[in-house]
């Protein structure tokens, strides 16, 4: 019986007209793969290229397409109190006068075990600023003294477990950046806000770098600059200014190192204030240069001068290793300048710079014109690697009511000793 049934079924199937079915080949199925690299979304923000499903899995927002339309430019935000291990994630707070919480932390976790450095790029950074001083041209008035430059309302810092954390900063820092070493337990970027009505907003891009990446600098470099030209400024200096107002005030308690990648074929780095003034007579609060740092002079010193003596630059100062004045604006320099106007002399090499004039020149008889002139001189260094250290203490000197009585008063005359700095730099061809 079984044999009969099988035979009948076979005959039935064989007698039915056959329909030709389409054939499929694995070779005709294409699997599109693309790297998860940085992309620019339709909002002009930087994100990471993922598939739509991958972006959704990461709680990201699709912001335009990438990879020839196969992917989406995925933006991942780290919420207040949240964490993320995504590269190109962002910490964002829309403009508000009173944040919903007075403490806001964002935890940055490394993407993988090969991540060594993390950069926080301040696309927008505007929180309550420090206690402000005012540079004046003549008579001084009672001030808040040592609290000038203190972040007494809002603050921001980034933890760096096992190493020094970033300095405490506040105010306007749009265009600035901070690097920290990646921690397996996470780096915490923390804001604290005072309960007052001040406009605050920030948009910070988080970039993760693998070990050995030449874009990331090394341990100990809070800031790291690449490229042959750029601008380095103290925190809370409003970058991009064409004039420096009397109330521009640097932050106190700042101790950190900035580093520069030496570009191919470049043998020296030179600096000059981003905003300069032409003559001593123009030294008024409305036309300050973008360099003014406290100095500990004596009554015989002129207030508006360049200081390089470590005994005078002992409270606030910047350090440029083995620096010398270039005697020209570096924009016109085609070769690496020599020391001392062409006559090499080790005594002309400086390290610390402070005072009101950026010239890397002490008040010397032969070169007094450089110390007294209000036109800044480019300052260069051939010491490698290219480094720039910042050391500001926790106090601004406001002793005396007459600028002529006490040359140490940081508010007397202009440029004021409270400004800090904004310096354009360039690396000169060998």
pLDDT 10s digits, 295-307? 775 544 455 677 8
Q: Residue 296 falls within a domain, yes or no?
A: yes
**Does residue 335 have a pLDDT over 90?**
no
**Does residue 169 have a pLDDT over 80?**
yes
Task: State the pLDDT at residue 220.
Answer: 92
Where residue 14 falls among pLDDT bands split at 50, 70, 90?
Answer: very low
Between 140 and 17, residue with greater pLDDT: 140
**Does residue 340 have a pLDDT over 80?**
no
Where residue 45 falls among pLDDT bands split at 50, 70, 90?
Answer: confident
Helix (H, G, I), strand (E, B) or coil at 27: helix
Instruction: Based on the fold, state whether residues 179 and 295 are members of the same structural domain.
Output: yes
Q: Residue 221 falls within a domain, yes or no?
A: yes
Between 429 and 229, residue with greater pLDDT: 229
**Does residue 371 have a pLDDT over 70?**
no
Q: Worst-scoring range by mean pLDDT, 29-38, 49-58, 331-340? A: 331-340
Q: Residue 400 falls within a domain, yes or no?
A: yes
Per-residue pLDDT reduced to its tens digit, 54-91 = 888 888 888 888 988 888 999 899 999 999 999 999 99
Which of 379, 380, 384, 389 lies closest to 258 in space, CA to CA? 389
Task: State the pLDDT at residue 423.
Answer: 96
- Rounded to an integer, the average pLDDT of 315-336 is 72
Q: Which residues neighbour 215 within 8 Å (Cβ) at sequence distance 6 or greater?
A: 209, 224, 226, 261
Instruction: Based on the fold, state whether residues 45 and 81 are members of the same structural domain.
Output: no
Q: How far is residue 379's CA from residue 424's CA, in Å, rounded to a whole number?
A: 11
- Rounded to an integer, the average pLDDT of 350-375 is 65
Retrieve residue 170's tokens: 């506040």
Going 46 to 69 to 54 to 208, the CA torsion angle's sign is negative
Where residue 37 falls among pLDDT bands split at 50, 70, 90?
Answer: confident
- Rounded to an integer, the average pLDDT of 105-112 is 96
Instruction: Based on the fold, state whether residues 61 and 108 are members of the same structural domain.
Output: no
Query: Where among 47, 76, 105 does a domain terminate?
Result: 76
**Does residue 334 have a pLDDT over 60?**
no
Instruction: Based on the fold, state whether residues 64 and 142 are members of the same structural domain.
Output: no
Range of 55's domain?
A: 36-76
Instruction: Based on the fold, state whether residues 102 and 145 are members of the same structural domain.
Output: yes
Between 217 and 331, residue with greater pLDDT: 217
Where residue 364 falls among pLDDT bands split at 50, 70, 90?
Answer: very low
Q: Residue 231 falls within a domain, yes or no?
A: yes
**Does residue 366 have a pLDDT over 60?**
no
The chain-wide mean pLDDT, for the chain, equals: 81
Instruction: Based on the fold, state whether residues 171 and 196 are members of the same structural domain.
Output: yes
Q: What would the DSSP string read from start to end of 351-398?
A: EEEEESS-SS----TTTHHHHH-SS---EEE--SSEEEEEEE-S----
Q: For residue 14, what is the DSSP state?
A: H
Helix (H, G, I), strand (E, B) or coil at 323: strand
Instruction: Based on the fold, state whether residues 224 and 180 are members of the same structural domain.
Output: yes
Per-residue pLDDT reduced to its tens digit, 212-271 = 999 999 999 999 999 999 999 999 999 988 888 889 999 999 999 999 999 999 989 999
Q: Residue 62 falls within a domain, yes or no?
A: yes
Q: Residue 23 falls within a domain, yes or no?
A: no
Helix, strand, coil % in the chain, rounded to nearest 5: 10, 35, 55
Instruction: Based on the fold, state whether residues 247 and 275 are members of the same structural domain.
Output: yes
Instruction: Based on the fold, state whether residues 345 and 302 are members of the same structural domain.
Output: yes
Where residue 407 falls among pLDDT bands split at 50, 70, 90?
Answer: low
Instruction: Based on the fold, state whether residues 44 and 84 are members of the same structural domain.
Output: no
Tally the residues of the chain.
430
Q: Residue 392 falls within a domain, yes or no?
A: yes
Task: State the pLDDT at residue 44.
Answer: 82
**Does residue 315 have a pLDDT over 50?**
yes
Instruction: Based on the fold, state whether residues 361 and 274 are members of the same structural domain.
Output: yes
CA distances from 41 to 56, 67, 73, 235 (A): 16, 12, 6, 29
Instruction: Based on the fold, state whether residues 298 and 332 are members of the same structural domain.
Output: yes
- Rounded to an integer, the average pLDDT of 133-155 is 76
pLDDT above 70: percentage of residues in the chain:
75
Task: State the pLDDT at residue 398.
Answer: 73
Question: pTM of the predicted model, to two decimals?
Answer: 0.84
Query: Where among 52, 76, 100 does a domain terminate?
Result: 76
Beta carbons of 412 and 284 less than 8 angstroms apart: no
- Rounded to an integer, the average pLDDT of 165-192 is 95
**Does residue 180 have a pLDDT over 70?**
yes
- Rounded to an integer, the average pLDDT of 262-282 is 79
Q: Residue 217 falls within a domain, yes or no?
A: yes
Q: How many domains in the chain? A: 2
* Number of CB atoms found within 10 A of residue 356's CB: 28
Q: How far is residue 75's CA from residue 89's CA, in Å, rounded to a whole number?
A: 6
């Amino acid at each position: 019986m079984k044999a009969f049934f099988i035979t009948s079924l076979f005959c039935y199937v064989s007698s039915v007209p056959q329909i030709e079915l389409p054939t499929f080949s694995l070779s005709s199925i294409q699997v599109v793969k693309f790297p998860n690299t940085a992309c620019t979304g339709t909002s002009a923000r930087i994100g990471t290229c993922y598939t739509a499903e991958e972006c959704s899995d990461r709680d990201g927002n699709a912001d335009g397409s990438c990879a020839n339309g196969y992917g989406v430019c995925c933006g991942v935000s780290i919420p207040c109190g949240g964490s993320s291990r995504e590269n190109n994630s962002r910490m964002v707070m829309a403009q508000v006068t009173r944040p919903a919480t007075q403490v806001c932390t964002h935890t940055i976790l490394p993407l993988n075990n090969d991540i060594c450095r993390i950069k926080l790029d301040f696309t927008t950074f505007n929180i309550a600023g420090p206690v402000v001083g005012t540079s004046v041209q003549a008579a001084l008035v009672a001030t808040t003294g040592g609290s000038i430059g203190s972040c007494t309302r809002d603050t921001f810092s980034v933890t760096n477990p096992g190493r020094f954390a970033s300095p405490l900063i506040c105010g306007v820092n749009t265009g600035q950046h901070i690097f920290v070493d990646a921690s397996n337990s996470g780096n915490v970027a923390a804001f604290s806000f005072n309960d007052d009505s001040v406009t605050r907003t920030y948009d910070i891009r988080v970039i993760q770098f693998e070990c050995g990446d030449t874009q990331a600098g090394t341990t100990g470099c809070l800031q790291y600059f690449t490229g042959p030209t750029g601008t380095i400024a103290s925190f809370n200096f409003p970058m991009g200014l064409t004039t420096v107002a009397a109330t521009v005030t640097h932050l106190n308690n700042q101790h950190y190192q900035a580093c520069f990648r030496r570009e191919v074929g470049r043998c020296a780095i030179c600096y000059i204030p981003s905003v300069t003034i032409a003559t001593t007579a123009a030294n008024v609060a409305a036309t300050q240069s973008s360099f003014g740092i406290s100095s500990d002079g004596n009554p015989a010193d002129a207030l508006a001068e360049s200081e390089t003596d470590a005994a005078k630059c002992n409270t606030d100062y910047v350090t440029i290793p083995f620096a010398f004045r270039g005697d020209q604006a570096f924009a016109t320099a085609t070769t690496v300048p020599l020391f001392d106007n062409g006559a090499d002399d080790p005594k002309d090499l400086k390290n610390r710079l402070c005072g009101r004039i950026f010239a890397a020149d002490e008040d010397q008889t032969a070169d007094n014109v450089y110390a007294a002139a209000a036109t800044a001189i480019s300052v260069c260094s051939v010491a490698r690697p290219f480094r720039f250290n910042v050391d500001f203490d926790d106090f601004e000197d406001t002793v005396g009511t007459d600028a002529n009585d006490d040359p140490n008063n940081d508010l007397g005359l202009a440029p004021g000793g409270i400004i800090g700095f904004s310096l354009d730099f360039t690396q000169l061809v060998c």
